[in-house]
Amino acid sequence: MSPKDTFFSHKQSLNCRGRILGFRQPLIMGILNITPDSFYPGSRQTEPEQILQMATEMISEGADILDIGAHSSRPGANEIPAGEELQRLEMSLDIIRRAHPDILISVDTYQSELATRVVRNFGVDMINDISGGDMDPEMFSTIADLQVPYVMMHMKGKPADMQEHASYQDVVKEIIFAFSGKLQKLNRLGVNDIILDPGFGFAKTIEHNYQILRQLEAFHIFNQPLMVGISRKSMIYQVLDSNPSEALNGSTVLHTIALMKGANLLRVHDVREAREAIKLVGKTFAQ
């Protein structure tokens, strides 16, 4: 499969509460962390004015979706009370929805009860579950009831202990096997609007992450939109002997590789740079 075939692949559309989201060309999900302890300090926003400013900036730079997370999922992060997570989400969703009523919003949560509340009370368009349903057995049936697109990520364990589970015979084959079983369950429940995320950095070593990136085309076997979340992660800054704040250039390099291998959605901290990468890769392989 050539880079042109993957970049311009015709993936299925998603129904986002009546709005059709197509993947004729790759899209961008901007990361908005409503938390004081995410791994990249530049993404942390806790005050209403800061949250709205960052959301507005991402939208102006070309974000197709905003992904709002109210708990940190960095390695070693502990869970927070559901009430605290919900309070953060309600505050941020209220101000963003008032200012930007038409922007597509994803909420990053693995708790089905919170998913229900943000969809029903704030019209959230998508749920992004880092645990792929493993941390809340009610999540799949909840998504079926809500009928919103579902980002299903691969992870083993929990953020607090996930790196203890970073053991695989063949990481790509094992992720594909895990996705296959879960997709069958979701399809039986009537859930068809699904985005797959192989979970870079979640229960993966640096070498695992690069194995996944090298074989990213393998995930097209499911014919589902494929999301890549590698922005400013340790697979970049540890290799470059730097830190998350210095990892923008490395992020753009790996985003470009992911695009050439068929990524349909980039989850990023830096929207403008990701938009430029998409435009230049598209220009390179345009007919």
Q: Which residues are catalytic?
A: 233, 267
Nearest to 94 by CA among 60, 58, 64, 55: 55
> Six-digit token pair at 55?
């959301």
Residue 144 in tokens: 């079926």
Identity at 38, one-letter amino acid code? S
CA angle 31, 150, 7 (to 5 degrees): 70
- 3-class DSSP state of 260: helix
As a whole number of angstroms, the distance between CA 47 and CA 45 comes to: 6
Q: How far is the C-alpha of 269 from the C-alpha of 274, rounded, in Å?
A: 9
Whose tokens are 């299925």? That residue is 12
Q: How far apart are CA 204 and CA 230, in angstroms?
A: 12
**Dihedral sign from CA coordinates of 215, 220, 222, 225:** positive
CA-wise closest residue to 125 among 18, 201, 263: 18
Contact 271, 61 (CB under 8 A): yes
